[in-house]
Amino acid sequence: MNWSDALSRLPPLLASHIVLAAAALFLGMVIALPMGVVAARHPRFGRVALGFASLVQTIPSLALLALFYPLLLALSGVVRVPALGFLPSLLALALYALLPILRNTVIALTSIDPEIIEAADGIGMTRGQKLWIVQAPLALPVVMGGIRTAAVWTIGAATLSTTVGQPSLGDIIFSGLQTQNWVLVVTGCVAAAILALVVDAMLALAEHGLATRRRWLWVVPLLVAVLVPVAITVARTAPASTITIGAKNFSEQYILARVIGHRLEAAGYRVRYKENLGSAVVFDALGHDDVDVYVEYAGTLWTNAMKRSDVPARPILNRAVGDWTLREHGVTSLGPLGFENAYALAVPGELARRRGLRTLANLTAAAPDLTLGGDLEFLDRPEWAAIRQAYALDFRATRAFAPTFMYAALKSHDADVISAFSSDGRIAADGLVVLGDPRNAIPGYDALLLVGPKAGHDAAIVAALRSLVGAIPVNAMRHANLMVDGPQKASADVAAAWLEQAIAAKGAR
């Protein structure tokens, strides 16, 4: 992907990023400023409030964002609230904005010379008059310092909102990291940095205007800060007919999401994408109509959601998964796309030849000398527990990597064995050997096309997507994946276009 392609993706993501960061900062100020005033007057409350705000800062941003999703999902059983996207991102980022604003407000108010307060009391000022006429102007520079710090923090942390389905500059950063497309990574990081610098400069201008009582210096930045996010929100409000396509955080999912999107656009629908979602998050979102369609792998639902440990034949497993999703969640499985993307342990060809590794059974004796590299989910998934138990595997060490970096870890010898995916084109390109599973510990992982309850009742959506069932051979999927993950570094759109041509050619034969 070249710079022009990366920049073409920037405007809508930057707009969403601005709206989210502005809303979170505003909500943080609404909460923190009154709390700061009360905390300055009541030290005991101040200790509790600052302790809470400090505690929030110790929670990793990604974890806090993820925690709000199940909380809002549980609440949606009582009151219909969107559990995915803007709301969980807003709440998490507003909490992160609390500490600098609250702390600086308390410091500013408690540092005012007591003689000034006594003078205000002496002329009969009320508590409210003292706050607005005396304390607020004196505290302003320190308070604005906290707001400026919170603004920069919020803009940076907002890049993580992509993990809960909120479009932001994090979309291209995460996608770039996953595909090792550094043009995307640099574009997203530079855009976020420039946005933070511009916002900080605007807040500095507003601070100067307030301090010098030059109204236009603070009114103009304030109007820009309010009107720009409002205008963007109005302009980008998705029509009710927009179809939301979900995707997980690896190349195959990005490509398939685009293929699905193109089919729906050809049928007259508007589409939008929510990418880089976790397996549990995206399936729950589908069941609650926060996502309308995405591709899931049968084995993932079989082991993680259905808690099954037996390994039936793939056709039986696919039917059982489809029956369960419809019965328990109202989710319709249109069927397998035609290929399987199964978990498989893979090793470099040289290591396989040297240690005689052909199956997982051969790995049992070699494992104590080797390091296993898994994707970010694998080491906590039941599939790994089943493999480890079936073959008594005890590795020297285990490490977790983003999927793309597992392959780099093999080359740098940071890992000897990885949890590869059977439809990944890099297996053949890098000369890896996939170890057989003679004890059938790993279930089938056919790629299933799932549609949510609402979309499943739309005959036009179902008709537009049914043509993809059974249409994608594994060799074509591997080639498309390699286009993105390999040296070519093609975009997901380019790989999807190639895959659609392959589908059309297969259908014409």
pLDDT digits (tens, 9 = 90+) for 170-199: 888 888 887 777 888 888 899 999 989 988
Residues 146 and 416: their CA atoms lie apart, in Å, by: 47
Q: pLDDT of 465-502, one tens digit each?
A: 999 999 999 999 999 999 988 887 888 889 999 999 99
Residue 471: its pLDDT value, please?
93
Query: Strand order of the sheet with strand 432-434?
Result: 397-400, 371-374, 417-421, 343-348, 432-434
Q: Under a CB-based contact definition with an 8 Å cutoff, are residues 53 and 103 in contact?
A: yes
Q: Under a CB-based contact definition with an 8 Å cutoff, are residues 480 and 496 in contact?
A: yes
Residue 210: its pLDDT value, please?
66
Residues 443 and 96: their CA atoms lie apart, in Å, by: 41
Of 241, 247, 287, 281, whose CA–CA distance to 264 is shortest? 241
Cα-based distances in Å from 480 to 294, 297, 406, 483: 18, 18, 19, 5
Residue 391: half-sphere exposure toward Cβ, Cα within 13 Å: 27
Give CA torsion, residues 279, 288, 247, 23, to 10 deg: -110
Give CA torsion, residues 152, 155, 157, 163, to 10 deg: 180
Q: C-alpha angle with apex 130: 128 to 133, nearest 5 degrees?
A: 100
What secondary structure does DSSP assign to 57-77, as a single string?
A: HHS-HHHHHHHHHHHHHHHTT
Residue 227: its pLDDT value, please?
58
In degrees rounded to 5, what are phi and psi of residue 459? -60, -30
Segments of the chain with pLDDT less than 70: 1-6, 76-83, 210-241, 507-509
Tokens representing 12 are 């809508």
Strands 432-434 and 397-400: unpaired
- Would you give the DSSP letter of residue 412? T
Q: Give the contacts of 442 (CB within 8 A, at least 6 positions apart).
A: 299, 311, 342, 343, 344, 383, 386, 387
One-letter amino acid of 121: D
Q: Under a CB-based contact definition with an 8 Å cutoff, are residues 465 and 451 in contact?
A: yes
Tokens representing 314 are 């793939």
Residue 453: its pLDDT value, please?
93
Q: C-alpha angle with apex 70: 65 to 72, nearest 5 degrees?
A: 85
Residue 399: its pLDDT value, please?
93
Tokens representing 221 are 């930045």
Residue 482: its pLDDT value, please?
92
- Of all helices (H) and strands (E), which one includes residue 335? strand 332-340
One-letter amino acid of 142: V
- In the numeric block, the tokens 């009154």 are attached to 34
Residue 472: its pLDDT value, please?
94
- Evaluate the CA torsion angle 332, 337, 338, 341 in order and state its sign: negative
pTM: 0.76
Cα-based distances in Å from 205 to 69, 125, 148, 491: 37, 31, 11, 40
Give the rounded distance of the alpha carbon of 228 from its chain centre: 25
One-letter amino acid of 464: A
Cα-based distances in Å from 73 to 56, 291, 303: 21, 13, 22
Long-range contacts of 224-233 (CB under 8 A, 24+ apart): 225/22, 228/18, 228/22, 229/18, 229/19, 229/22, 229/23, 232/15, 232/16, 232/18, 232/19, 233/19
Burial zone of 157 (CB within 10 Å; 0-12 exposed, 13-18 middle, 19+ buried): buried
In degrees rounded to 5, what are phi and psi of residue 47? -65, -40
Residues 317 and 204: their CA atoms lie apart, in Å, by: 61
Residue 258: its pLDDT value, please?
95
Tokens representing 108 are 């500013």
Task: Give me the residues paired with residue 345 across strands.
Answer: 419
Helical segments of 42-163, H only: 43-58, 61-75, 86-110, 114-122, 127-129, 136-157
Residue 165: its pLDDT value, please?
78
